[in-house]
Structure 1
Amino acid sequence: MRRVVVAVPGSLDTPTGGYGYDKRIVAELRTLGWQVDVIDLGAGFPKPDRGMREAAMAKLLAVPEGCPIVIDGLAYGVMEAEATLLSSRNPLIALVHHPLAFETGIDAERAAALQDSERAALVHARAVIVTGNTSLDILTQDYGVPRVRITVIPPGIDAVSLPPRGRRAGESVNLLSVGSIVPRKGHEVLVAALDDLKTLPWRLTIAGDTTRDLAALARLTAMIEVAGLQGRIVVTGAVGDARLAELYGQADALVLASLFEGYGMVFAEAIAHGLPVVATDVGAARAVIPPDAGILVSPGDRRGLSDALHRVIADDAERERMAVAARQAAVHLPQWREAGAAFARVLEACR
């Protein structure tokens, strides 16, 4: 049986887009007949202490020689020394959702250190898989990774194109934003934009992990309170797949104010659920969201985001036209089985 090891920092069930991608790829590979062993490297990456590094390396050294190892970029990017040693005994495949140095909210010194570490580690990868063209461009232009070693495998969707929830007269428009509470997701810009629209009937649910950056959570919570929007904005924390599907089903539109995305799985998920999208022009937004199904604004543009949200909230007919376009586009989105097959081809080439 064809065998591969997938190494991730922490639990594969962690409810974020990156871990969700990893989990679905594991499932698809198993469906294709691969033996997939998942290794938990520890939840401290990309800031592992010495003990965690040693424990992670011990697990990786226990993998049979010659067996391909896929390492999630959240860990791989700070494993230069480990990659140097491992690459002589196992084919290494780096799975880069987005380069670590491009995380918003870290200082210039930390970003430079991460870029140096990630660039050095990637030299030892037999293959590099990225989820979108944004990361592809960064790795080739800024990190010097040869294009021939990189494969772009975007996330798939499940065939779940659902009609949007009908809104009765007098009801608020339900907005949904999905993403961990970290600076890169731009939640503060979103709250500022909605603060300009208090006279309109809307409610916002933010679904995402609240434990990754407690300072960002504190700033967001304070901002909501100062604006007096506690009764209109709910931050749920991390949610499972079933609950997230419910939230998509209850939403009238998706809004994502990210400052940077390597891909942005949420874009495709929203289109798959037949939702109009208001988002920043990052990651795969322009490729995934049809012009008649969404409105894109520049990252960090509070006024532009506010104007776009005004259109979607205030004009029921416009919102329904966008929803129809989203449902029509959903049938053309890539499926997870296609992503799994592409991943398998990379593994075959590395054996």
Structure 2
Amino acid sequence: MTERRVAFAVPGDLSRPTGGYEYDRRIIQGLRALDWSVDLVGLGDGFPFPPESVSGHAEGRLGALEPGTTVVIDGLACGALPDAVERLARKLNLVALVHHPLCLEQGLARDEAEELHRTERAALREVRQVIVTSAATAQRVGALFGLAADRIRIVEPGTPRARRAQGSGGPDVRLLSVGSVVPRKGYDVLFEALASMAGLDWRLDIVGERRDPACCAELEARLVRSGLADRIRFFGALPPGRLAACYERADIFVLASRYEGYGMAFAEALAHGLPVIGSGGEAVRATLSRAGAIYVEPEDSASLAEALQRLIASGSERVRVGDAAWQAAGALPRWDEAAARFAACLEEAR
């Protein structure tokens, strides 16, 4: 039997607590459980705008792999290395894993977005296969970069089984948001919605990396101006155990993303039986089409406020929607299923 072996090329620190890195970790773990040999290849920091020294280091590490090796390159790096990908595609079976198109990240200057569109388009045209995390992302990637549908495969993330949330048990309704503090996550939209509900009893906990100093400073200034600073707490990134505790003591999950390639935090909230309110485009709409969730359009703070007011004001409504979320969670895909689908894609690409 031919050995099932794959190299997994990852930029930055694989242990970072973000959805993209969580996906990578879970797929690697799942492939190993299926008796695949997985070799990790660290590509360095600074993506998607790496300095030349990092780009050269990344190409050198990939170029040292044995000819014919199947290599999964995380999209954060793949889309930033078009020239290297073109050269490496002559000796390696390259598979791009695209969580969401780099050029759609919020907060980019126009010239940065245009450059990422150019480089990602060029890189993805050279790889043997592109794996994405949702049907909506497959459509978006195909349209943005001119890729035929038969070159794209979909492997949705899994969702771990979780204990049902018990709620805050206090006089204030505890809201929870989980996502890096960056413009794409729409915290400014959420704060605008919450500013219209100062008369209701609520508190908001935000868990996620504070990796964009300018975004963090703008949000903190907005909180001071609105008078909400004492009702909203930023926790930064938390280890899995403390994050699970945040879900378990929350009453409502809300995230006002402008765009998501899938939206793993929404699925995790459903798995905890939390009422979910969210936005983020077609991939999130699909995740939140299940009972127990309310979808609003991105940047629609008025509709977001209406949905929040409905749940904050009524404990019985929160219980009803939470019960529906808990039931819907049983239909969410699991990580072992995701790993099996990913493995099938790799077999096809070999």
* TM-score clears 0.5: yes
The residue that corresponds to 1:165 in the other structure is 166
* 3-state SS of 1:142 partner: helix
2:89 to 87, 90, 103: 87
* Residue of structure 2 in register with 1:224 after alignment: 223
- Extract structure 1 runs of 4+ deviating beyond 6 A: none
Q: Are the equivalent residues in 1 in contact too, given 2:137–2:283 (CA < 8 A)?
A: no
Inter-partner Cα distance in structure 2 for 1:290 and 1:147: 24
Q: Counterpart in 2 of 1:203?
A: 203
Query: Conserved in 1, the CA contact under 8 Å of 2:278 and 2:294?
Result: yes
Aligned position for 2:276: 277
Match of 2:306 in 1: 307
The secondary structure found in structure 1 opposite 2:230 is: coil
Q: Contact 1:293–1:322 (CA<8 Å) still a contact in 2? A: yes
Aligned to 1:260: 259
1:63 aligns with 2:65: yes
Give the match for residue 113 of structure 1: 115
CA distance in 1, matches of 2:52, 2:299: 37
How many Å apart are 1:37 and its aligned residue? 1.1
Output the CA distance in 1 between the equivalents of 2:343 and 2:256. 33
- Contact 2:179-2:207 within 8 A present in 1 as well: yes
Q: Can you list the C-alpha shifts for 1:243-296, whole angstroms capped at 9, x where unaligned?
A: 111111111111010011111111111111111001115243222224541211
1:158 match: secondary structure: coil
| 8 Å CA contact retained: 1:140, 1:147 | yes
| CA RMSD, 1 decimal | 1.2
The offset of 1:230, in angstroms, is 2.0
Amino acid at match of 1:16: T
CA distance in 2, matches of 1:187, 1:145: 33
Name the SS of the counterpart of 1:284 in structure 2: helix
SS in 2 for 1:330: helix
Provide the residue aligned with 1:293 in structure 2. Answer: 292
- State the Cα distance separating 1:134 from its structure 2 match: 2.2
CA distance in 2, matches of 1:110, 1:331: 41
Counterpart residue type for residue 333 of structure 1: L
What is the CA–CA distance in structure 2 between the aligned matches of 1:166 and 1:153, rounded to whole Å? Answer: 32
Tell me, yes or no, if the aligned pair for 2:206 and 2:235 is still in contact at 8 Å: yes
Bigger CA drift: 292-301 or 6-15?
A: 292-301
- 2:128 alignment partner AA: R
Contact 1:164 1:323 in 2 (8 A): no
CA contact (8 A) 1:6 1:39 kept: yes
Which amino acid counterpart does residue 30 of structure 2 have in structure 1?
E
Shift of 1:166: 4.3
Percent sequence identity over aligned pairs: 46
What letter corresponds to residue 330 of structure 1 in structure 2?
A
Q: Deviations over 1:149-168 (max 9, x none)?
A: 111111001122x3332454
Paired residues in the alignment total 348
1:313, 1:292 → 2: CA distance? 18
1:152 to 151, 154, 169: 154
Question: Deviations for 1:164-192, whole angstroms, at most 9, x for unmatched residues?
Answer: 32454x61111110110110000111111
Check the 8 A contact 2:44/2:54 in 1, yes or no: yes
Amino acid at match of 2:122: A
TM-score by length of 2: 0.97
> Are the equivalent residues in 2 in contact too, given 1:100–1:114 (CA < 8 A)?
yes
Question: Is residue 290–residue 325 contact of structure 1 (8 Å, CA) maintained in 2?
Answer: no
User: Which secondary structure state, in structure 1, belongs to the residue aligned with residue 181 of structure 2?
Assistant: coil
User: Is the contact made by 2:103 and 2:117 (CA closer than 8 Å) also made in structure 1?
Assistant: yes
Native 8 Å contact 1:253 1:276 kept in 2: yes
Tell me, in whole angstroms, the C-alpha distance in 1 between the residues paired with 2:309 and 2:9.
44
* Unaligned ranges ≥5, structure 1: none
- The alignment's TM-score, normalised by the length of structure 1, stands at 0.96
Note the C-alpha offset of 1:195.
Answer: 1.0
For the 8 Å contact 2:275–2:293, the answer to whether it is kept is yes
Query: Mapping of 1:178-193 within 5 angstroms?
Result: 178-193=178-193
The DSSP-based 3-state class of the residue aligned with 1:331 is helix
Task: Give the direction of change, closer, same or farther, for the CA distance of 1:23–1:283 in structure 2 (3 Å limit).
Answer: farther
Change (3 A) 1:55 1:167: closer
Q: How does 1:39-78 map to 2 (within 5 A)?
A: 39-78=41-80
Give the partner amino acid of 2:199. T
For the 8 Å contact 2:158–2:334, the answer to whether it is kept is yes
